[in-house]
Amino acid sequence: MIRILDNPILRNKLNRIRDRRTPAHELRQHVEDLTSMSLPLILDSVPTRSMQIETPMGEYVFEFVIEEDFVFVPILRAGLPMLNGALRVFQKASVGFLAIRRDEETLKSHVYYSRLPHLEGKHVVILDPMLATGGTLELALKIIMEKNPKKVYTFHLVASPEGVERFKYWEVSISTVSLDDGLNTKGYIVPGVGDMGDRLFSDCPPSTPLG
Protein backbone atom coordinates (compact mmCIF):
# COMPACT_ATOMS: atom_id res chain seq x y z
CA MET A 1 0.00 0.00 0.00
CA ILE A 2 1.33 3.45 -0.92
CA ARG A 3 0.19 6.65 0.71
CA ILE A 4 1.19 10.05 -0.68
CA LEU A 5 0.92 12.71 2.01
CA ASP A 6 -0.77 15.27 -0.17
CA ASN A 7 -0.46 18.34 2.03
CA PRO A 8 0.84 21.83 1.13
CA ILE A 9 2.55 22.41 4.49
CA LEU A 10 4.50 19.15 4.20
CA ARG A 11 5.33 19.91 0.55
CA ASN A 12 6.57 23.37 1.55
CA LYS A 13 9.06 21.79 3.99
CA LEU A 14 10.10 19.23 1.38
CA ASN A 15 10.70 21.93 -1.21
CA ARG A 16 13.06 23.74 1.17
CA ILE A 17 14.92 20.42 1.45
CA ARG A 18 15.08 20.17 -2.34
CA ASP A 19 16.76 23.61 -2.63
CA ARG A 20 20.48 22.88 -3.08
CA ARG A 21 21.41 26.16 -1.35
CA THR A 22 19.87 25.00 1.97
CA PRO A 23 22.86 24.41 4.29
CA ALA A 24 23.31 21.10 6.15
CA HIS A 25 22.27 22.40 9.59
CA GLU A 26 18.98 23.77 8.21
CA LEU A 27 18.43 20.65 6.14
CA ARG A 28 18.67 18.43 9.23
CA GLN A 29 16.16 20.63 11.04
CA HIS A 30 13.70 20.54 8.10
CA VAL A 31 14.00 16.73 7.85
CA GLU A 32 13.42 16.39 11.60
CA ASP A 33 10.38 18.69 11.49
CA LEU A 34 8.92 17.01 8.43
CA THR A 35 9.19 13.60 10.10
CA SER A 36 7.48 14.79 13.30
CA MET A 37 4.73 16.44 11.28
CA SER A 38 4.15 13.39 9.05
CA LEU A 39 4.25 10.55 11.56
CA PRO A 40 0.67 11.00 12.88
CA LEU A 41 -0.58 10.88 9.27
CA ILE A 42 1.13 7.62 8.34
CA LEU A 43 0.26 5.47 11.37
CA ASP A 44 -3.20 4.02 10.96
CA SER A 45 -3.30 1.16 13.46
CA VAL A 46 -1.84 2.65 16.59
CA PRO A 47 -1.99 0.40 19.67
CA THR A 48 -3.74 2.22 22.52
CA ARG A 49 -4.54 1.56 26.17
CA SER A 50 -7.26 3.13 28.37
CA MET A 51 -5.89 4.73 31.50
CA GLN A 52 -7.51 6.58 34.33
CA ILE A 53 -5.81 9.89 35.09
CA GLU A 54 -6.46 12.77 37.38
CA THR A 55 -7.24 15.97 35.46
CA PRO A 56 -7.78 19.37 37.14
CA MET A 57 -11.52 18.58 36.76
CA GLY A 58 -11.43 15.13 38.38
CA GLU A 59 -10.68 11.48 37.47
CA TYR A 60 -11.31 10.44 33.85
CA VAL A 61 -10.41 7.54 31.57
CA PHE A 62 -8.58 8.40 28.32
CA GLU A 63 -6.86 6.53 25.50
CA PHE A 64 -3.06 6.60 25.36
CA VAL A 65 -0.79 5.28 22.63
CA ILE A 66 1.45 2.39 23.72
CA GLU A 67 4.66 4.05 22.57
CA GLU A 68 6.75 1.10 23.73
CA ASP A 69 5.17 -1.01 20.95
CA PHE A 70 6.95 1.08 18.28
CA VAL A 71 10.42 0.52 16.88
CA PHE A 72 12.00 3.10 14.61
CA VAL A 73 14.63 1.83 12.19
CA PRO A 74 16.56 4.64 10.45
CA ILE A 75 18.65 3.54 7.49
CA LEU A 76 22.10 4.99 8.10
CA ARG A 77 23.21 7.53 7.50
CA ALA A 78 20.58 9.69 5.78
CA GLY A 79 17.78 8.37 8.04
CA LEU A 80 19.37 9.76 11.24
CA PRO A 81 17.70 13.20 11.28
CA MET A 82 14.38 11.42 10.64
CA LEU A 83 14.97 9.41 13.82
CA ASN A 84 15.26 12.61 15.89
CA GLY A 85 11.92 13.78 14.48
CA ALA A 86 10.23 10.41 15.12
CA LEU A 87 11.50 10.26 18.72
CA ARG A 88 10.03 13.69 19.36
CA VAL A 89 6.60 12.12 18.71
CA PHE A 90 7.13 8.79 20.56
CA GLN A 91 9.85 9.25 23.18
CA LYS A 92 9.41 5.71 24.55
CA ALA A 93 9.84 3.89 21.21
CA SER A 94 12.79 1.55 20.73
CA VAL A 95 15.34 2.11 18.01
CA GLY A 96 17.12 -0.29 15.68
CA PHE A 97 19.85 0.55 13.20
CA LEU A 98 20.51 -0.76 9.71
CA ALA A 99 23.42 0.59 7.71
CA ILE A 100 23.00 -0.16 4.03
CA ARG A 101 25.30 1.10 1.32
CA ARG A 102 24.53 1.20 -2.37
CA ASP A 103 27.36 0.43 -4.78
CA GLU A 104 27.37 3.47 -7.11
CA GLU A 105 28.46 1.32 -10.10
CA THR A 106 26.15 -1.71 -9.81
CA LEU A 107 23.43 0.09 -7.78
CA LYS A 108 23.29 -3.08 -5.62
CA SER A 109 22.79 -2.58 -1.88
CA HIS A 110 24.53 -4.42 0.95
CA VAL A 111 24.17 -4.32 4.74
CA TYR A 112 27.31 -3.36 6.65
CA TYR A 113 25.85 -2.91 10.15
CA SER A 114 22.71 -4.25 11.76
CA ARG A 115 21.58 -3.78 15.35
CA LEU A 116 17.89 -4.43 15.92
CA PRO A 117 15.93 -4.83 19.16
CA HIS A 118 13.22 -7.48 19.65
CA LEU A 119 10.70 -6.92 16.83
CA GLU A 120 8.12 -9.68 17.36
CA GLY A 121 4.63 -8.16 17.69
CA LYS A 122 5.99 -4.61 17.30
CA HIS A 123 5.00 -1.81 14.96
CA VAL A 124 8.16 -1.08 12.98
CA VAL A 125 8.68 2.19 11.13
CA ILE A 126 11.59 2.24 8.64
CA LEU A 127 12.95 5.76 8.08
CA ASP A 128 14.76 6.49 4.83
CA PRO A 129 14.49 9.88 3.07
CA MET A 130 14.53 8.31 -0.43
CA LEU A 131 12.84 5.31 -1.95
CA ALA A 132 14.82 5.21 -5.21
CA THR A 133 15.44 1.83 -6.92
CA GLY A 134 14.06 0.02 -3.87
CA GLY A 135 17.18 -2.16 -3.42
CA THR A 136 17.93 -0.76 0.04
CA LEU A 137 14.34 -1.05 1.19
CA GLU A 138 14.03 -4.63 -0.06
CA LEU A 139 17.07 -5.66 1.99
CA ALA A 140 15.78 -3.83 5.07
CA LEU A 141 12.31 -5.36 4.75
CA LYS A 142 13.67 -8.89 4.36
CA ILE A 143 15.73 -8.55 7.54
CA ILE A 144 12.87 -6.98 9.52
CA MET A 145 10.06 -9.26 8.33
CA GLU A 146 12.00 -12.38 9.38
CA LYS A 147 11.56 -11.17 12.95
CA ASN A 148 7.73 -11.31 12.90
CA PRO A 149 6.72 -7.70 13.55
CA LYS A 150 2.99 -6.98 13.84
CA LYS A 151 3.05 -4.26 11.17
CA VAL A 152 5.71 -2.57 9.05
CA TYR A 153 5.57 1.03 7.85
CA THR A 154 8.12 2.90 5.77
CA PHE A 155 8.38 6.66 5.56
CA HIS A 156 10.17 8.59 2.81
CA LEU A 157 10.41 12.23 1.85
CA VAL A 158 10.54 11.35 -1.86
CA ALA A 159 9.88 8.12 -3.74
CA SER A 160 10.20 7.07 -7.37
CA PRO A 161 7.44 5.25 -9.24
CA GLU A 162 9.97 2.45 -10.00
CA GLY A 163 10.72 1.99 -6.30
CA VAL A 164 7.07 1.98 -5.28
CA GLU A 165 6.16 -0.53 -8.03
CA ARG A 166 8.68 -3.01 -6.59
CA PHE A 167 6.65 -3.38 -3.38
CA LYS A 168 3.19 -3.63 -4.94
CA TYR A 169 2.56 -7.08 -3.44
CA TRP A 170 4.45 -6.66 -0.18
CA GLU A 171 2.78 -6.55 3.23
CA VAL A 172 4.03 -3.05 4.01
CA SER A 173 2.52 0.42 4.33
CA ILE A 174 4.69 2.87 2.33
CA SER A 175 4.25 6.61 2.87
CA THR A 176 5.99 9.45 1.06
CA VAL A 177 5.58 13.20 0.98
CA SER A 178 6.11 13.18 -2.79
CA LEU A 179 6.05 10.64 -5.59
CA ASP A 180 8.59 12.15 -7.99
CA ASP A 181 9.04 11.71 -11.75
CA GLY A 182 11.54 8.82 -11.87
CA LEU A 183 15.22 7.85 -11.65
CA ASN A 184 18.20 9.10 -13.62
CA THR A 185 20.87 6.71 -14.99
CA LYS A 186 22.79 6.94 -11.69
CA GLY A 187 19.76 5.79 -9.72
CA TYR A 188 19.03 9.22 -8.22
CA ILE A 189 15.42 10.36 -7.88
CA VAL A 190 14.44 13.18 -10.26
CA PRO A 191 13.81 15.93 -9.24
CA GLY A 192 14.45 14.37 -5.81
CA VAL A 193 16.78 15.80 -3.21
CA GLY A 194 20.23 14.88 -4.58
CA ASP A 195 22.75 12.91 -2.52
CA MET A 196 21.00 13.19 0.81
CA GLY A 197 23.74 11.67 3.00
CA ASP A 198 26.34 14.12 1.71
CA ARG A 199 23.97 17.07 1.83
CA LEU A 200 22.84 16.35 5.42
CA PHE A 201 26.29 15.92 6.89
CA SER A 202 28.56 18.24 4.94
CA ASP A 203 28.08 21.97 4.56
CA CYS A 204 29.68 22.04 1.08
CA PRO A 205 27.07 22.05 -1.68
CA PRO A 206 28.20 20.04 -4.74
CA SER A 207 29.81 22.34 -7.30
CA THR A 208 27.77 20.86 -10.14
CA PRO A 209 24.24 19.49 -10.08
CA LEU A 210 24.07 15.65 -9.96
CA GLY A 211 21.77 15.25 -12.95
Give contact residues for ligand URA (rule: CB under 6 A): 130, 132, 187-189, 192, 195-197
CB of 117 to ligand URA, least distance (A): 26
Which C-beta is closer to ligand URA: that of 130 or that of 144? 130
Smallest separation (angstroms) from ligand URA to the CB of 199: 8
Burial 160-189 (b: 16+ CB within 10 A, else e): beebbebbeebebbbbbbbbbeebeeebbb
Q: Nearer Cβ to ligand URA, position 140 or 196?
A: 196
Q: Which is nearer to ligand URA, 38 or 178 (CB)?
A: 178
Q: Using H for helix, E for strand and C for coil, what is the string for 92-143?
A: CCEECEEEEEECCCCCCEEEEEEECCCCCCCEEEEECCEECCCHHHHHHHHH
Q: How far is it, in rounded angstroms, from Cα 107 to Cα 118?
A: 30
What CA–CA distance (Å, rounded) separates 41 from 11? 14
Question: Which CB sits closer to ligand URA, 162 or 195?
Answer: 195
* CB 177, min distance to ligand URA, A: 14
CA distance 90 to 30: 18
User: How near is the Cβ of 56 to ligand URA at its closest, in Å?
Assistant: 49
Least Å distance between CB 82 and ligand URA?
13
Nearer to ligand URA (CB atom), residue 104 or residue 146: 104
Measuring CA to CA, how many Å separate 14 from each of 17, 59, 99, 158? 5, 42, 24, 9
